[in-house]
Structure 1
Amino acid sequence: MRVAVIGAGVGGLAAAADLARRGCEVTVFEAAAAPGGKMRQIEVAGRGVDAGPTVFTMRWIFEALFADAGRRLEDHLDMLPSELLARHAWRAGGRLDLFADIGRSMEAIAAFASPEDARGYREFCARSAAIYRTLAGPFIASERPSPLELVRRVGAGNLGQFWRTAPLRSLWGALGAHFRDVRLRQLFARYATYVGASPFLAPATLMLIAHVEQDGVWQVRGGMAAVARALHGLAEAQGARFRFGARVEEVLVDGGRAAGVRLATGEVQRAEAVLFNGDASALGQGLLGAGARRAAPETPRARRSLSAITWCVNAPTEGFALAHHNVFFAEDYAEEFDAIFRRRSLCAAPTVYVCAQDRGPAAEAPAPGGAERLLVLVNAPAEGDAQALDLARHEAEAFALLAACGLHVARAPGRMAATTPKGFHALFPGTGGALYGRANHGMTGSFARPGAASRLPGLYLAGGSVHPGAGVPMAAMSGRLAAARLLEDRAGERRAIVGLGLSPAAAGVTADTSRPPAGRIRPAPT
């Protein structure tokens, strides 16, 4: 069976590897010159700087992908565990390191805030682990469920665990039960931004991200671009073909189903199935042809997730001992998200994330006075198709906050490259610059994302805008789920895909909290 994959992002790469391994004739069409999608690098002053995702977690998803191909992940990626998860600083005062070891973090929190907050952190960790155990199999590693189907998968005997995921409470509200110090609520509320949401609107279910980080954050030697190269190599080794610089302009439809693609050059490639690894909203806007418009809904502007302004920097720093991951906070957290999601603007003192790519276990600290690579990021509204931001003003405000926290960056022409929501919209059409698809707000926000099978027969969806959500491991899982759905449909089967590639031990899932995994998907005729 011939399959055309549109987009060599993480989801497309994972799907291509699975489909080619199962005997499909797979061709991946990518508009860019290299694989990775949002996981891209920008050259600044002669060095490549990771300009997209910077955190590698949920290693078990990638281990399963490689193991199914008869390979070992560690033979293709050099990964080092991070003992220090992130360093945090506040403009009003205070610094706090968070560690993979819960005991060390408790000691740091007790000294930073209070022993009571340290105990609250321990309870928070236990709660986040329980939420993760409840949802890893039935939701993360499974085909998109409805709310009722998710309850069925969790099991009637485990409804207590399900309600403890707190789907009706906001993340910010739930954190108040664990932390008295508002700075700690800021720190842990930031997990909502990992999926492009506001902590004041996102469900408390997202506390599970805390457990994901405690389970392991890895620094990859060579940066996140090395992950894209490894996935590209895996897919090629299974027989997938890649065409870079090949922009797809239309999904062809014949007889009411997807039948191939037409490139910007006018070239037509016929296929029995098409897998789209891009923002699903682009389909709903008709950007891939009128025939595919009904395949997925357009995301309303008000429902878009966060965008960002990023600066890739290669310059000397001083005054603050950077870790690999660093977060700098102002005082009014609510104002930041009110500005973005209600007023569609940036506040004067946004939270600033800095990934110091020459720090941490996979790299030596830079020499005194030497330039180092940074990704500096502030959240922004996804208005890249509607308005232009005042980049100079927002740059001054972001780096002023860093300076107030003690970090001074020697900015200079040629040593920085900025990307705005308008730039992200150009890179990823149909998004307005939204980096995570639809915002995960409210109890049903996560169920509003499309599933692997689109509304157009023969067209399948993968990537951060579809189930199970945004982030590198989730995008990889979406690709595997899309490939499995495609093969099941080809075989004429109609059963739910539950627990795909899920190792209960690796994922921390026990029989008390989730259904047993369905095991490997059976081979389908091609």
Structure 2
Amino acid sequence: MRTQQRVVVVGAGVGGLASALLLAHGGFDVTVVERAAGPGGKLRAGAVAGLAVDAGPTVFTMPWVFEAIFAEAGATLADWLTLKPAAVLARHAWGPGERLDLLANPDAAAGAIAAFAGPAEADGYRRFCARARSVYETLAPAFIAAQRPSLPELVRRVGPTRLGDLWRITPFRSLWSALGDHFRDPRLRQLFGRYATYCGSSPFSAPATLMLVAHVEQAGVYTVEGGMERIAHALATLAASSGARFRYGEHVDEILVARGAAGGVRLASGERIEADAVVFNGDAAALGAGLLGLAARRGAGPARPARRSLSAVTWLMAAETAGFPLSRHTVFFSGDSPREFRDLAGGRTPADPTVYVCAQDRGAVDDGAPRGPERLLCLVNAPPAGDVRDAASWEVDACEERVLTRLAASGLTIRRSAGASLATTPSDFAARYPGAGGALYGEASHGWMASFRRPASRSPIPGLYLAGGSVHPGPGLPMAAMSGRLAAQALMADRASMRLWSRAATPGGTSTASAMTAGTR
């Protein structure tokens, strides 16, 4: 007689991997189905000139999220990953001679800001840091780690004694507006406004609560020895050692729904994998668009292209650089930030883009350029229209020319040999991650209600759970991992409730769900 509960996890991104690991360790019979050849989802590497270059997330923060997941699976994060803290969080450039390093040490950072923009701006930075910490401390336990992100629940969790704190995090103002309380220098507003793009949003529309990212970064930005893909491989290996089975190179055509509940999946090959529950680790918009079957559409709200987060055009390179001292993470800012985001809102790649460069052979400590070609990821934001424009229409060569012009404004030149560059457009992202038109972060965090609109881990379909950056608590590696943990916790709690209900039922009589069961949907 079968005693294990069967779970299919659709997608081996970080959220799906976290769910698979915790469920397998908890005694569930777990099968992970992933269309790619290996784990990671957006956490991937591309091959350029024989070198592996991180092509997705490049920043590792909030290690305590991963430490908790590994600990719950009976493991220790430090035994699986080697992390090195960065002394320079990022280098920022605006033009000739305009350069500022944001340092990990807050006092040193304030000193650098004072030298760059004056002592008043350094005082503003200190006030900004205190405010960012307050936002984080208010939202971390009450919202980020909560199962159901609703305003009444947030107020309840914060409690009556801290309602003032909830008001002071100014959720009704834009990030750009709130930054004006602390910085008069427009370059510093650009620098800290960029935190909105971490979740694919505009600083002119995203809520001021996103300043919490500043506190997260001050708590530590790390490099991962061996590349970011090591995170995914560590999670997948540990999940497999706990009994999870991985089926790579297989595509799920449909999430099966029978008698109103999720009951497994059907693969493109026609094979059916029956299950007691399904965890979907893809963009929730794919569900709403019916890409996983019509019956599964009500598992997430309808896809709304107008609410999509940003996409990107990226270049992976093996190149030699000169003229500017790159750090591990360097941002070259647009000369006209309002126009940049107007272009994006209008469906255009920016005429003068902000360019992010990750120099992946530079160490966590700013130790200079390597000899010979180095591995680079260059990224500019782009509109999420990959499902309505083909790859050729993105005019990659013209976009690249604008990128090189922006880099040259600060003196940086990049020299590549033939075949040592690989471009990816929103159309490519749309093909790789269906349902979102190339949007990389689910819905944009525009307006104070945006975070409450993200789907929760429990979908409206019993037995179907959601994980990944498009669901609560949001995008980014730690948040995606947290979503997988929340999905696993919800699934295990629901199954435990069902077992309690079954044992409490009176043979031959009429059963009623317990309060615990009734409160899980």
Determine if contact 1:280/1:298 at 8 Å carries over to the other structure.
Answer: no
CA distance in 1, matches of 2:360, 2:111: 27
SS in structure 1 at match of 2:81: coil
Shift of 1:362: 7.8
Shift of 1:366: 4.4
Determine if contact 1:5/1:29 at 8 Å carries over to the other structure.
Answer: yes
Report the equivalent of 2:181: 177
Identify which of 316, 321, 327 aligns with 2:320: 316
SS in structure 1 at match of 2:385: coil
Residue 162, structure 1, aligned to residue 166, structure 2? yes
CA distance in 1, matches of 2:149, 2:268: 36
Report the equivalent of 2:13: 9
Report the equivalent of 1:520: none
Matching residue's letter, 2:459: S
Alignment of 1:200-215 (within 5 A): 200-215=204-219
CA gap 1:321/1:211 in 2 versus in 1, 3 angstroms? same
Report the equivalent of 1:354: 357
CA distance in 2, matches of 1:116, 1:493: 60
Determine if contact 1:308/1:421 at 8 Å carries over to the other structure.
Answer: yes
CA distance in 2, matches of 1:412, 1:483: 47
Shift of 1:307: 0.2
Q: Deviations over 1:160-219 (max 9, x none)?
A: 111111100000000000001000000000000001110000000000000000001111
Shift of 1:493: 7.2
Shift of 1:330: 2.0
Determine if contact 2:89/2:217 at 8 Å carries over to the other structure.
Answer: yes
Matching residue's letter, 1:376: C
Report the equivalent of 2:373: 371
Matching residue's letter, 1:358: D
Matching residue's letter, 1:26: V
CA distance in 1, matches of 2:396, 2:148: 39
Q: Deviations over 1:316-348 (max 9, x none)?
A: 11111111000001221111111112x111221
Shift of 1:266: 1.0
Shift of 1:93: 4.8
Identify which of 126, 130, 134 aligns with 1:130: 134
Determine which structure has more spread, i.e. the larger CA radius of gyration. Answer: 2
Shift of 1:364: 6.6
CA distance in 2, matches of 1:22, 1:238: 9
Q: Deviations over 1:82-125 (max 9, x none)?
A: 11100000036510000110111111101110100000000000
Residue 483, structure 1, aligned to residue 488, structure 2? yes
Report the equivalent of 1:386: 388
Identify which of 394, 399, 409 aligns with 2:404: 399
Report the equivalent of 1:287: 291
Matching residue's letter, 2:142: P
Report the equivalent of 2:111: 107
SS in structure 1 at match of 2:262: strand
Determine if contact 1:138/1:150 at 8 Å carries over to the other structure.
Answer: yes
CA distance in 1, matches of 2:159, 2:284: 31
CA distance in 2, matches of 1:436, 1:483: 21
TM-score, with structure 2 as normaliser: 0.93
SS in structure 1 at match of 2:313: strand
CA distance in 2, matches of 1:297, 1:461: 12
CA distance in 1, matches of 2:410, 2:96: 8
* Structure 2: gaps (5+ residues): 500-521
Alignment of 1:267-286 (within 5 A): 267-286=271-290
* Structure 1: gaps (5+ residues): 495-526
The RMSD of aligned alpha carbons is 1.5
Determine if contact 1:170/1:204 at 8 Å carries over to the other structure.
Answer: yes
CA distance in 1, matches of 2:175, 2:184: 15
- Size of the aligned set, in residue pairs, is 493
SS in structure 1 at match of 2:70: helix
Determine if contact 1:2/1:24 at 8 Å carries over to the other structure.
Answer: yes
Determine if contact 1:92/1:331 at 8 Å carries over to the other structure.
Answer: no
Matching residue's letter, 1:94: E
CA distance in 2, matches of 1:441, 1:493: 38
CA distance in 1, matches of 2:358, 2:449: 32
Shift of 1:236: 1.2
CA distance in 1, matches of 2:493, 2:416: 53
Alignment of 1:191-340 (within 5 A): 191-340=195-344
Identity %: 59
Shift of 1:437: 0.2
CA gap 1:351/1:493 in 2 versus in 1, 3 angstroms? farther
Determine if contact 2:343/2:351 at 8 Å carries over to the other structure.
Answer: no
CA distance in 2, matches of 1:138, 1:493: 27
Matching residue's letter, 1:306: L
